[in-house]
Amino acid sequence: MKVTIRVKPGSKKGSLVQPSLTGELLVYVSEPAVEAKANRAVIDILADYYDVPKSNVKIVGGHKSRNKIVNIEML
């Protein structure tokens, strides 16, 4: 399943996933967007959110952007 997300790095809200009005998911992470720390946090959060292993969550587009496309292999 492919999911479009918008990442909010350095968030004071901490780790949070929220659906938005546009149909994408808003993913808040406290990690900064430096050295792929935010991307790793996004993978961790989405794995918990969809209850799948981290290895089943892959960022396939937008590695250096706040807008990302993520492929999630459901069990």
Q: How many domains does the chain have?
A: 1
At 1-58, the pLDDT tens digits run 999 999 999 999 889 999 999 889 999 999 999 999 999 999 999 999 999 999 999 9
pLDDT at 14: 87
CATH number of the domain that residue 38 is part of = 3.30.1200.10
- Write the burial class of residue 64 (CB in 10 Å: 0-12 exposed, 13-18 middle, 19+ buried): exposed
Confidence band for 75, pLDDT divided at 50, 70 and 90: confident
Which residues neighbour 18 within 8 Å (Cβ) at sequence distance 6 or greater?
Answer: 25, 26, 28
pLDDT at 18: 95
pLDDT at 23: 87
Question: Residue 42 belongs to what domain range?
Answer: 2-72
pTM above 0.85?
Answer: yes
